Amino acid sequence: MGNSSCRYVINAVGKGGETYYTQCQDKQELKAWITDHEERIVMNELKITDKNKHPLLKLFSLKR
C-alpha cells in the first residue's frame, strides 16, 4: 500500500509475542481488522495512528 492511500496505521502485539503492523484506508476497514484479530492480540498493546490528524492535536492527545 502507498502512504497516500492509507489513513490508519496499526501496531499490535499478539498473545504469543507476535508483532502486527498493518495499514487501513478507512474506519470500516480498521474496525473489520480489529474484529478479525481481537482473539489473537493484546488489546492494551494496540496502537492506532491516524495519519490525517492535525499535528497540534497529536501533541495534546492523551496517551496511556
> Which residue segment(s) compose the domain that 32 sits in?
1-63
Determine the pLDDT at residue 48.
Answer: 93
Give the pLDDT score at 33: 96
d(CA 25, CA 63): 23
CA angle 32–16–21, rounded 5-degree value: 45
Domains in the chain, number: 1
Give tens-digit pLDDT for 1-49.
444 578 999 999 999 999 999 999 999 999 999 999 999 999 999 999 9
Residue 19 confidence (pLDDT): 96
> Among residues 24, 10, 20, which one has the least CA distance to residue 41?
20
